């Protein structure tokens, strides 16, 4: 039987919550759905938080002084009172644990790593890994369809409670997007089998995690005066038909790496080839000030680099200097998310002086803005966050008919929730007429790997991509991470991160 999605201007939604410990993310989701015009009630289901998990959260609350109001905090009675149980049958039941406590023709359930309910998510977090979240829709025709997927970013994987916050926040976002699509008649994913139920983690795994977390914390305290574990370095090589853009693979040949004085790191390289010289713009991060600035250096045809010099400094942190030429001028869009803006600068003259041309977008934390001109429109890709959620896992898009704007937010934002391929890692490129975007793979930590994503669909309503390749930093780089790739002319630039003993 072919499923014919209905459209709803307003849904009657029953949201199921744990009767013993309803969580704040459920209240937040109910508030967002009500603001979108839906009638929302909260019903109660059997408990899902196990005693070992509750014990671990209690330990961490004292150890890390975690306050209330987080996504995984227990909601108070006053917050729940705003969403009484619905009278009558709902159009849709949101049943995260799949308990089936409230009957309905349409039901959304949540799975983590292919298993129903929260237990699989707990197990993944206790291993320090982000779970793959999926949403299934059970419809009146008796079919189960996979309609959404997300992989949250875990910025503090050694703290279970904060990782659970990140999961709860992205569960809320994922469900909201799926409900939006369901109401618009767009939730028609492929059929899937019912997910098995995962067992709850035992006390031994919870206590082992707590012990490992404490050891990690103590180890970092010991090493902090002696070493830096976020020291980024820049590399480059001259290419001739063997670049990543041509081969979609990392080369066997070596890269040259920029010398530094160990008092700063250099990252996020962008390159512009002009008159036989490669001009590299990058983030420079002095450890003394702990605020990024934009620096410039050159690479001659023999692959020799000049000494970097600061060319742009602002009151806020700067990084990711996306540089490009247009209409005879050279522009740059550095990351200024700490200022809540996306800013366009023009070189006058290049490369030493940069003047603010205009503010393209205001009031949004938009990281690593990456420009694309395609199909008669300008597109800006970047990570989008509310300041509480991770900056690693949600891809947002803005588009405009002119570079100067006005810029409009994509209606499906965030178009992707995936710590493995959301955050930009450099400029788009084409191979065989196919558009690719480099992206950071942050599932094992910030910028741990680099993904090459094929753009399958891009318009003002939808976005879709397929991950084609993932690259780890080669052993010869001496680093444990790789999060930027760019190319101009015969020069390809990269970066990598490793431990550095302090001066």
Q: What is the CATH number of the domain that holds 390?
A: 2.115.10.20
Percent above pLDDT 70 for the chain? 97
Token pair listed for 61: 């609350």
The total number of structural domains in the chain stands at 2
404 and 466: one domain?
yes
Backbone angles phi, psi at 166, to 5 degrees: -60, -40
**102 found inside a domain:** yes
Mean pLDDT, rounded, for 23-48: 92
User: Average pLDDT, stretch 274-293?
Assistant: 96
The pLDDT of residue 33: 96
In this structure, the answer to whether residues 235 and 176 fall within a common structural domain is no
Residue 155 near residue 392 (C-beta atoms within 8 A): yes
In a domain, 469, yes or no: yes
CATH number where 32 lies: 3.40.50.170
Question: What pLDDT was estimated at residue 217?
Answer: 76
Q: Calculate what percentage of the chain has a pLDDT beyond 90.
A: 74
pLDDT of residue 447: 96
Domain region containing 66 = 12-222
pLDDT at 2 over 50: no
Contacts of residue 346, Cβ cutoff 8 Å, sequence gap at least 6: 329, 330, 331, 332, 354, 355, 357
Q: Tell me what pLDDT residue 6 has.
A: 61
What's the pLDDT tens digit per position in 342-360? 999 999 999 999 999 999 9
Question: Comparing 21 with 263, which gets the higher pLDDT?
Answer: 263
**Residue 277: inside a domain, yes or no?**
yes
> Looking at the structure, do residues 199 and 236 belong to the same domain, yes or no?
no
Q: Are residues 267 and 385 in the same domain?
A: yes
Q: Answer yes or no: do 208 and 248 share one domain.
A: no
Residue 292 tokens read as 């990024």
Question: Both 64 and 168 in a single domain?
Answer: yes
The reply to whether 343 falls in a domain is yes
My answer on whether 125 and 253 are in the same domain is: no
Statement: residue 102 has pLDDT above 90: no
Question: Contact 384/376 with Cβ under 8 angstroms?
Answer: no
Q: Is residue 324 part of a domain?
A: yes
Task: Give the mean pLDDT of 431-458.
Answer: 97
Please tell me the predicted confidence (pLDDT) of residue 434: 98
pLDDT band at 3 (very low <50, low <70, confident <90, very high): very low
pLDDT at residue number 5: 56
For residues 439 and 419, what is the distance between their CA atoms, to the nearest angstrom?
Answer: 10
Whether 37 shows a pLDDT value over 60: the answer reads yes
Q: Which of 458, 467, 456, 423 is nearest to 442 (CA)?
A: 423
User: Would residue 1 count as lying in a domain?
Assistant: no
Higher pLDDT, 80 or 225: 80
Asked if residue 231 and residue 218 are part of one domain, the reply reads: no
Last residue of a domain, one of 222, 256, 275: 222
Together in a domain, 272 and 156: no
Position 2 in a domain: no
Mean pLDDT, all residues of the chain: 92
Is position 364 within any domain?
A: yes
User: Which of 176, 198, 222 is a domain's end point?
Assistant: 222
Q: Which of 170, 194, 222 is the last residue of a domain?
A: 222
Cα(361)–Cα(475) distance, integer angstroms: 40
- Of the candidates 439, 478, 473, 444, which has an alpha carbon nearest to the alpha carbon of residue 455? 439
The pLDDT score that the predictor gives to residue 1 is 35
Query: Same domain, yes or no, for 207 and 237?
Result: no
Closest CA to 383 of 342, 332, 323, 325: 342
Same domain, 106 and 231: no
Residue 209 shares a structural domain with residue 243: no
Buried b (16+ CB within 10 A) or exposed e, 9-44: eebbbbbbbbeeebbbbbbbbbebbeeeebbbbbbe
Provide the pLDDT for residue 229.
76
Task: Return the axis-axis angle of helices 160-183 and 119-126, rounded to nearest 10°.
Answer: 140
């Amino acid at each position: 039987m072919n499923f014919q999605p209905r459209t709803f201007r307003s849904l009657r939604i029953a949201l199921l919550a744990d009767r013993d410990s309803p969580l704040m993310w459920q209240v937040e989701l109910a508030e967002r759905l009500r603001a979108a015009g839906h009638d929302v009630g909260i019903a109660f289901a059997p408990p899902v938080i196990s005693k070992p998990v509750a014990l671990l959260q209690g330990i961490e609350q004292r150890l890390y002084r975690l306050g209330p109001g987080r996504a995984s905090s227990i909601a108070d009675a006053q917050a729940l009172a705003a969403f009484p149980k619905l009278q009558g049958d709902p159009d849709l039941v949101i049943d995260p644990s799949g308990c089936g406590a409230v009957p309905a023709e349409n039901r959304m359930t949540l799975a983590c790593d292919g298993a129903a309910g929260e237990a699989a998510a707990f197990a993944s977090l206790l291993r320090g890994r982000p779970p793959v979240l999926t949403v299934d829709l059970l419809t009146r025709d008796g079919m189960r369809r996979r309609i959404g997927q997300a992989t949250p970013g875990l910025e503090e994987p050694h703290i279970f409670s904060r990782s659970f916050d990140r999961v709860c926040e992205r569960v809320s976002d994922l469900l909201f997007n799926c409900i939006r699509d369901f109401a618009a008649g767009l939730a028609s994913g492929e059929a899937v089998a019912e997910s098995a139920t995962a067992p709850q983690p035992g006390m031994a795994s919870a206590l082992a995690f707590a012990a490992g977390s404490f050891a990690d914390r103590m180890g970092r305290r010991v090493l902090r005066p002696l070493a830096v574990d976020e020291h980024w370095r820049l590399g480059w090589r001259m290419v001739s038909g063997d670049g990543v853009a041509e081969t979609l693979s990392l080369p066997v040949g070596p890269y040259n790496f920029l010398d530094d004085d160990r008092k700063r790191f250099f990252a996020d390289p962008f390159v512009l080839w002009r008159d036989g010289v490669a001009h590299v713009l990058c983030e420079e991060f002095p450890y003394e000030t702990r605020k990024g600035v934009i620096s410039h250096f050159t690479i001659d045809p023999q692959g020799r680099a000049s000494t970097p010099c600061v060319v742009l400094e602002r009151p806020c942190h700067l990084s990711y200097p996306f540089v490009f030429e247009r209409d005879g001028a050279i522009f740059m869009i550095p990351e200024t998310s700490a200022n809540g803006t996306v800013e366009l600068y023009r070189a006058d003259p290049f490369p030493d002086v940069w003047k603010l041309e205009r503010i393209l977008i205001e009031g949004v934390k938009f990281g690593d803005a990456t420009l694309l001109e395609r199909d008669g429109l300008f597109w800006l890709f970047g990570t989008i966050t509310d300041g509480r959620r991770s900056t690693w896992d949600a891809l947002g898009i803005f588009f405009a008919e002119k570079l100067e704007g006005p810029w409009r937010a994509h209606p499906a934002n965030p178009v992707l929730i995936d710590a493995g391929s959301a955050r930009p890692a450099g400029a788009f490129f084409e191979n065989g007429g196919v558009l690719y975007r480099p992206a950071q793979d942050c599932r094992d930590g910030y910028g741990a790997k680099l993904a090459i994503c094929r753009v399958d669909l891009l318009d003002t309503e939808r976005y879709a991509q397929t991950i084609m390749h993932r690259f780890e930093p080669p052993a010869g780089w001496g680093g444990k991470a790789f999060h930027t790739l760019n190319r101009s002319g015969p020069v390809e630039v990269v970066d990598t991160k490793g431990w550095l003993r302090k001066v």
